[in-house]
Every structure is written in structure tokens, then in C-alpha cells.
A and B are shown apart, each in its own frame.
Chain A
Amino acid sequence: MKRLLCFWFACLLAAACLPAGAESLTFEGTVFVGDSIMQQIGRYRLEQTQRGNPILEGARFLAISSYSLSQGSRVTPDENKPALMLRGSRVSLPEGLRILEAKRAFVMLGMNDEAGARLNPQLNQYRRLIERVLNRNPGLELVALSVTPIAKRAQTKNLNQANFNAFNTALEALCQELGVIYLDVATPLMDEEGFLRPEFSSDNRVHLSKEGMEAFVKTIEAFALASVE
């Protein structure tokens, strides 16, 4: 009897030690927006869920490989460029989030614009994106994600880590100014030199391997858990 009581107290203690939000982490009402890397995450999520390892449960994705910051900042999509597709129609980012009744949106854009190569215009586009998204979706929790790193040997004149770092720093400052959350998803993917870790890369350029996607998802989940607590 004494042993049973001790066992019960131990269980109660263990339950009390669990993080408050661990059992309630959900991504219902959350939309992930982006380009080919976000598209990878969405596909990875589908695959993992079907393998019996559900991740980012309830999340929806608005992503196309060639999506750009310039297109995302527009009220109506440029008809000459690829646009987000939702329910068979081309949609702007603000409108897509509205249709999905998003409560929270994680946005990762800039890679297809050569983030940092034209810093001022790009930050102006991001400012417009944030303002237009929030205007169309009042009450939305918008989280701007850093662009992810590039493999060291894949760098070019315009597509390079120094530019990405400048873009991310400027984006963080912009978010602070506009009262929007900024989340650094780049650092957990970096090696000691600040480039995309080889084991996190699927193409020795910018796209993520399964391990890289796993690391990305962990960063998002940690953020979401911290938000709940």
C-alpha cells in the first residue's frame, strides 16, 4: 500500500514537471508561407504525417518554389509571374491568408530575390508585405523568418551569406520597428563558419536535406512552445 502511494505521488510529480504547453502544441490556424524551402517543409510534413510521425499538426502551407518577396508584397499578384495558388486560383499573400482564416503566419521570403543584394528596395518590399498582410488580416500574428543559409561553395556575386546576413539583420530591425515577431531559423542550420551545414543540405546549395528540415521544424516547434508557456 505504501509502495502504491509512493508510486502515485511520483506520477503526480512527474506530470507537474511537464512543460505547460507540451500537450497542447498545435498549429491549427497557422499558415506557413514561402518559396521552395517552405515548399520542402510542407512536403516533408505530409510525408512524415503519413509515416505516423505527425509534425506541425494542423498547419497549412502557401508556398511555391519560385515565390518572391516582390510578388508577396503585392496587393494583387503580378500576372506575369508565378503566384500562390489556393483552391485553383491565383491569390495574393494577404488574400490567401484571409481565405484560410489564418490566426498566425510564418513568412519566409527573399531567397528568390537574392536577399541582401538590393537591401533597401527589398526592405521596402518587406515593409509593404507586412503592412498589407496585417491590414487585410487584422489580429494575425505575423512571424517573419530569416532567410536560411547557403552552402559555402554555392555562393555567387549576389547570392551569398554576407548578403543574407545583412538582409536578416535589417529584417530583424524592421520587425522590431513594426512590432512584428522575427524568428531566426538560420543559425540552427549553420556550421561554425556560418554557412549551411553540409549534412543539412540536399543539393549543396540552399535546399534542405531531411536532417535540415528536421532542424528547421524543431526551431519552429520550440518557438511555438515558448509562445504557449
Chain B
Amino acid sequence: MNKRLLILMLALLLLSGCTAPSRKTETIDIKAVYLAMEKTGALPDMTAVPEGMLLDFYGIDPAWCAEALCMVSADSLLADEVVLIRARDEAAAKRILPFLEGRMQAKAEEAQNYSPEQYAIIKQGQILSRGVEMALIVSPQVSRLVKLYQGE
């Protein structure tokens, strides 16, 4: 009996060890993720949109954010942009998401006739949202940066 119980417990331990860690349950280390994105060399020189400008620039109230890192290209002629946000809670996340979508749409409208090259990059841009974690990523290498964000 003890042997069977032991085997059962070992089997259970083995099974739990096989489950891949889920990004869903982890808190994203926003700074670390952005640092990893920088290290790829995929981004041009970027500059931060300070917290005091979040409202004017994005329409996002800083009070909705537990943490936010908003980076735009230092060269305003390039569309590259990385916005990584952890909302305070799910309700705040629901308020933030439309503003990220609006930002993406506005970027596209601005570039459509002005810079077809940047417009094409923006159209491939992605907005990601899972629980309180959300991101807007625009880059010629968006897939690579999205994978980093998703912990792949």
C-alpha cells in the first residue's frame, strides 16, 4: 500500500513538473523585457514618453497603470514604438486598451499618405492584451519583439 502511494505521489510530482510555466500567471518584468528588446538591435534610438505626458500623448491616465514603459523613436520620422503597461486591475486594463488601439490607428492615419514605408510598418504593428498586461509594439521586426514580450 505504502509502495503504491509512493508511486502515485511520484507520478503526481512528475506530472506537475511537466507543466510549462505559463506567462499568464507570471507578472511580466517590463524593464527586463524592454532591455531584451533593446539588446536585439531591432530598435532605433528610442526615447521615453515620461509619465507626465501619458495623458496628453496617449489619453492614458497614469493612475490606471501599476507600471508603464512607453518608448518612441528618438527620430520622429520612424514609426518604431514600444508601450508596455501593467494596469492596476482588470477594470483599468479595459480603460487603457481602447487608447492603445486609438494610438495605433492615429499612427496609421498620420503615415498613410505621408510615409508609405512607415505606414507598412505600422500596419504590421501589434497590440497585445492579457489580463492586466498589455503592449503596443511597432517595429520592422515586430514578430521578434512580440516573442520576447510573450516570453518565448
Chain A residues with CB under 8 Å of chain B are 36, 39-40, 42-43, 46-47, 50, 60, 64-66, 82, 85-90, 100, 112, 203, 207
A46–B56 touching, CB < 8 Å: no
Check: B111 CB closer than 8 A to any chain A CB. yes
B113–A46 touching, CB < 8 Å: no
Q: Point out the residues of chain A lying under 8 angstroms from B99, CB to CB.
A: 88
* Nearest A residue to B48, CB-CB: A50
Q: Point out the residues of chain A lying under 8 angstroms from B89, CB to CB.
A: none
Q: A55 to nearest B CB, angstroms?
A: 13
Q: Point out the residues of chain B lying under 8 angstroms from A88, CB to CB.
A: 58-60, 98-99, 102-103
* Nearest A residue to B106, CB-CB: A85
Q: Point out the residues of chain B lying under 8 angstroms from A50, CB to CB.
A: 47-48
A87–B59 touching, CB < 8 Å: yes
Q: Point out the residues of chain A lying under 8 angstroms from B106, CB to CB.
A: 64, 82, 85, 90
Closest 4 pairs between A and B when the two form their complex, measured CB to CB: A88-B59, A66-B114, A43-B76, A87-B59
Interface size of B by CB at 8 A reads 28
Q: A22 to nearest B CB, angstroms?
A: 25
How far is B118's CA from A66's CA once the two chains are assembled, in angstroms? 13
B window 26-70: CB within 8 A of A: 45, 47-50, 55-56, 58-60
How far is B76's CA from A132's CA once the two chains are assembled, in angstroms? 29
Check: B124 CB closer than 8 A to any chain A CB. no
Check: B115 CB closer than 8 A to any chain A CB. yes
Q: A109 to nearest B CB, angstroms?
A: 14
Residue among A43, A64, A82, A203 making CB contact with B72, cutoff 8 Å: A43
Decide: A46 near B102, CB < 8 A? Known: A40-B76, A87-B56, A87-B59.
no
Q: B123 to nearest A CB, angstroms?
A: 15
A207–B110 touching, CB < 8 Å: no
A207–B48 touching, CB < 8 Å: no
Residue among B49, B98, B115 making CB contact with A65, cutoff 8 Å: B115
Q: Mark B76-110, 1 if CB is under 8 A from A, else 0.
A: 11000000000000000000001100110010011
How far is B56's CA from A87's CA once the two chains are assembled, in angstroms? 4
How far is B44's CA from A47's CA once the two chains are assembled, in angstroms? 13
How far is B60's CA from A86's CA once the two chains are assembled, in angstroms? 11
Decide: A46 near B110, CB < 8 A? Known: A40-B76, A88-B99.
no
B75–A43 touching, CB < 8 Å: yes
Check: B74 CB closer than 8 A to any chain A CB. yes
B114–A43 touching, CB < 8 Å: no
How far is B48's CA from A180's CA once the two chains are assembled, in angstroms? 35
CB<8 Å pairs between A and B, sample of 6: A60-B56, A82-B112, A82-B114, A87-B55, A87-B56, A90-B106
